[in-house]
A and B are shown apart, each in its own frame.
Chain A
Amino acid sequence: MTLAALPLGVEIAIKTGVILAIIPAGALILGYVFLMKMMAHMQSRLGPMDPGGFHGWYQLIGDGIKFLQKEDLMPAEADRRVFAMAPMLILLSTFLVYVVIPAGPDIIVEDLDVGIFFALAVSSISVIGVLMAGWASANKFAMLGAIRAAGQLIAYELPLVLAVVGVVIQAGTMSLQGIVAFQQNGEIFGFGGIGFPLVITQFVGFVLFLTAAQAELTQTPFDMPVAESELVAGYFVEYSGFRFLFFFMGEFGTAFALAGIAATLFLGGWSIPGVEGTLANVLGPIVLFAKVMLVSFVIFWVRFTYPRFREDQLQSLAWKFLIPISLLNILATGVFKVVF
């Protein structure tokens, strides 16, 4: 089974189709499992129970269909073209992140040599989309939200990248497949049963990555751009209907993707030690999905528990704590790499 034998156009079409299916699917799964069910149970509620019969599994799909039917509202003062483009751009950035995440030895859209670098670079395209959305809405709340988002995403891009550098140093490659292979073949003091998940040596990096990812996803405690109790809904306050759906899919699709990257970098990704070839292609996606859910659980657990920071506190947290710690982490990793 190899796609490379197909003509280029067909290959691209198939790959695009797969990612376009994964984004809503990932958003739906995270939205249903965590946003609806886990949050409800954390608050002694049941969440949706009726739609679809079994524990309201149909709720979010129904919501999506409802959004498609809604009137497409656009503020009179809005910059119409920019307003319409912004959600697309955010979805595009989500789309591009999926390109480099491997789910098996052969299940990857494109194994770039600079894979992780590419993923983090394209994920920050969403800043432009957020700024466009906030500016084009011609709404003060939206603009405040967009400016906050821009400041925050730029501040957190740096610790996100720096947290990854430790992994890259240890694995000696930027390719995500290479990092997975390193973790699959690694051994802990001669014991190879669970491979060598980098979270063991890069725990600081893992925590930093999750913190920065939380800010990147604008989730509580870093959700000032959205801040429903202050800015109502921040940069997408004026969006409705399917454009709002795009924002929703972008948010949860990116959460799915970033959880995937975290699982790949720190928890071993699709790797199952000792399993290779076709079997790994079959089991890999399942293993990766389980790990993604684990990471997402932590992300959403934090989201539903904590209050939010203030914008200036967030900036000082990023510049005064996260970045110095991640630099120290890089230094320590480098020293260990040279010594051992």
Chain B
Amino acid sequence: MSVTEQRQHAAVARHLAEAQVNVELHHEDMVLNIGPQHPATHGTLRVIVKLDGERVVAADPVIGYMHRGYEKLTEYRSYPQITTLINRIDWLSSFANEVPFIDASEQLMGIEPPPRAVYIRTILTELSRISTFLLFLGEMGLQVGAITPAFYGFRDREYVLNLIEAATGGRFHPNFNRIGGLKDDLPAGWIAETRRVMDVVFESCDTFEDLVAGNEIFEARTRGIGIIPGDIGKSYGVSGSNLRASGVDWDLRRDGQPYLAYPELDFKVWTHPDGDSFSRYWVRLQETRESARMVLQLLDQLPAGPVMAKVPRIIKVPAGETWVNTENPLGEMGYYVVSKGAIGPFRVKIRSASFSNVSILPWLLQGVYVPDVITILASLYFILGDIDR
């Protein structure tokens, strides 16, 4: 190789290096991998965010790390066994998970549960709503940096869980619903205890209002962050409190097909016009109070009677298909049950709320800062089991 050639090669190499440097300088985006193991992702959600400084350019949620195959599993289990499986979908409000499936099975079998059973189901559904929202109210504080509210959330939720345990035997997985009614009636003294605990819940809501929602720093962190306009929320399938916080007045307890004792109840559906993280917090705070009021109302109206209808010993659901959707704490939850007359369903399609709620993340996370990513994730309030099923 001649000297000239060597020089030429050196010059080319230098140019290439400069070009490389230029390219590197232009690539200022940093890919940050939030999750699957990250304290703010409630388990194993993974969000891949592309950052320009601390500003998110693009976000890509990756789900499925906790997929347990419940839809397939239901095809190989009998109806009583499925009840115990599906309350593990959203493990924080498991009782509410059982209700739509049991409702669908009862519709297919043409069984009407006795009114007392319906009322007790409604009470327990609202109690599970309270328990999961109390956790949210504290845990949202934790995600924006305050440690103490999380402990208050856990502390006050414990009273509600004790109630659920006293009635059903299980704190998280009640498995109390049976096709045609309930496993058993309430134990003695339960109603008085529930009234006492509802006072604790009201007090707890006041505490959260003072400690979290009323805090100026919390407002600064959440107001105007992660705004979901109502129509965009609807087009992504966002439901439940997240949608009501965007000003859409839509609650399946009132607007859907009548289920449980809700048609006989007098309650208010809370909405907030803003659609930001703060309004999602505020709506859940109000809904916790409203649920506590509903529980008191239901206790006043609780009818006497049996809790179990006449049901054959071996449950076989006649052929047919049905769709039942209910207002669960996290949003709309639905079961599409297809039966071919066997002891188990032929196919079950589960519509879980969190799955649709997080599908808005790529749209929602554009242009926010890294701390806001956490605020938005916390305020959307999803449960990983509910996303991955």
Contact = CB atoms under 8 A, between A and B. Distances in A.
Interface of A: 39, 42-45, 140-141, 144, 220-221, 223-224, 227-232, 304-313
B157 to A, nearest CB: 13
B145 A44 contact: no
A-B interface, 10 closest residue pairs, ranked by CB to CB distance from nearest: A308-B145, A43-B151, A307-B146, A307-B144, A307-B145, A310-B371, A229-B40, A230-B374, A229-B143, A307-B218
A221 B151 contact: no
B32 to A, nearest CB: 5
A321 B32 CA distance: 33
Interface of B: 30, 32-33, 38-40, 54, 141-148, 151-152, 155, 211-212, 215, 217-218, 220-221, 369-374
B38 A232 contact: yes
B368 to A, nearest CB: 10
Given A230-B370, A311-B54, A305 B211 contact: yes
A41 to B, nearest CB: 11
Contacts of A227: 145, 371
Contacts of B211: 305
Given A43-B148, A306-B146, A307-B144, A224 B217 contact: no
Given A229-B143, A229-B374, 17 more contacts: A39-B147, A43-B148, A220-B145, A224-B371, A227-B145, A232-B38, A232-B39, A304-B147, A305-B146, A305-B211, A307-B141, A307-B145, A308-B145, A310-B221, A311-B369, A311-B371, A313-B221
A39 B147 CA distance: 9
A231 B369 CA distance: 12
A313 B218 CA distance: 12
B215 A310 contact: no
21 contacts: A39-B147, A39-B148, A43-B152, A43-B155, A44-B152, A220-B145, A221-B145, A227-B145, A228-B39, A229-B39, A229-B143, A229-B145, A229-B374, A230-B40, A230-B373, A304-B147, A306-B146, A307-B144, A308-B145, A308-B221, A310-B371
A37 to B, nearest CB: 14
A229 B217 CA distance: 16
A221 B145 CA distance: 7
Contacts of B374: 229-230
B369 A312 contact: yes
Contact of A42 (B148, B217, B221, B372): B148
B142 A229 contact: yes
Nearest to B378: A229
Contacts of B145: 220-221, 223, 227, 229, 306-308
A81 B306 CA distance: 75
A39 to B, nearest CB: 7
Contacts of B373: 230
A39 B152 CA distance: 12
Nearest to A233: B39
B146 A220 contact: yes
A42 B370 CA distance: 29
B39 A304 contact: no
Contacts of A39: 147-148
Nearest to A228: B39
Contacts of A228: 39
Contacts of B151: 43-45
B217 A308 contact: yes
Contacts of B148: 39, 42-43, 304-305
Contacts of B369: 310-312
Nearest to B139: A229
A11 B123 CA distance: 74
A228 B373 CA distance: 14
B372 A310 contact: yes
Contacts of A311: 54, 369, 371
Contacts of B54: 144, 311
A230 B144 CA distance: 9
A128 B33 CA distance: 27
Contacts of A306: 145-146, 215, 217
A186 B66 CA distance: 68
A171 to B, nearest CB: 34
A195 B147 CA distance: 39
A213 to B, nearest CB: 17
Nearest to B218: A307
Nearest to A309: B217
Contacts of B371: 224, 227, 230, 308, 310-311
Contacts of A45: 151
A312 B225 CA distance: 14
Contacts of A223: 145
Nearest to A45: B151
Contacts of A232: 38-39
Given A307-B145, A309-B217, A140 B32 contact: yes
B160 to A, nearest CB: 16
B219 to A, nearest CB: 10
- Count chain A CB atoms within 10 A of each CB in B32, B146, B221 and give the residue with the most: B146
A310 B218 CA distance: 10
Nearest to B375: A310
B38 A313 contact: no
A281 to B, nearest CB: 40
Nearest to B41: A229
Nearest to B151: A43
Contacts of B220: 309-310, 313
A235 B141 CA distance: 23
Contacts of B33: 140
Given A43-B152, A44-B151, A144 B217 contact: no
Nearest to B32: A140
Contacts of A307: 141, 144-146, 212, 215, 217-218, 221
- Count chain B CB atoms within 10 A of each CB in A42, A45, A308, A312 and give the residue with the most: A308
